[in-house]
A and B are shown apart, each in its own frame.
Chain A
Amino acid sequence: NAGVMQNPRHLVRRRGQEARLRCSPMKGHSHVYWYRQLPEEGLKFMVYLQKENIIDESGMPKERFSAEFPKEGPSILRIQQVVRGDSAAYFCASSPGVNSNQPQHFGDGTRLSIL
């Protein structure tokens, strides 16, 4: 499967725990984007990364949230000390990045539930 791979598909955490969401971009894609989607709402941009660099994190809360895209391995979205309001679907998308007008392709998402 050469598509965007996200895992886990479903993640359940208790308040105060940490959540780690992983995303492997499509083969040949070097740009990764994370979005959050609440039920019946649109996609909200969180962060845009290239390998080893955060390009734009303007949509990500300053506290508790962090993202990385290391030289080797998947991109990680990390949420520390989760709260009920963090419950949402988190989608990762990737693009080749060289041509800035190219579409983004989405993974299947991680559904995060906070107990």
Chain B
Amino acid sequence: QKEVEQNSGPLSVPEGAIASLNCTYSDRGSQSFFWYRQYSGKSPELIMFIYSNGDKEDGRFTAQLNKASQYVSLLIRDSQPSDSATYLCAVNQENNFNKFYFGSGTKLNVKP
């Protein structure tokens, strides 16, 4: 079983819609959760991180964490074509905080 799982997509949404990206993880003791955006041929760029159960909002982005269900999601409101990229979920574990486990990423296409 992979430590972090994401649907590879592609996820297609129309411009202006809400894009919902999901991630599940296997280590119940995981403490910190990160979302990165990666454009094709570029490096991962940090979007948000979340440590506590519930929602965390930053502009058009909302991260949601449910530790009981071992589930973290990223919502992108008012999606723009420039949001089209691969979104990577990363988790670090209770006993190895500085080691991140990455999902394989979900490719998002926002259609004009």
Contacts and interface: CB of A to CB of B under 8 A. Distances in A.
Contacts, number: 53
B103 A107 contact: no
A95 B98 contact: yes
A97 interface: yes
Interface residues of A, number: 23
B31 interface: yes
B97 A100 contact: yes
Contacts of B25: none
Nearest to A108: B43
Interface stretch (A14-22, A38-46, A65-73, A75-83): A38-46
Q: How large, as a class, is the contact surface on chain B?
A: 20 to 34
B97 A106 contact: no
Interface of B is mostly: strand
Contacts of A108: 42-43
Contact of B88 (A42, A97, A103, A105): A42
Contacts of B31: 101
Contacts of B96: 56
A53 interface: no
B86 to A, nearest CB: 9
Nearest to A59: B99
A45 B99 contact: yes
A33 B45 contact: no
A96 B65 CA distance: 24
A55 B97 CA distance: 12
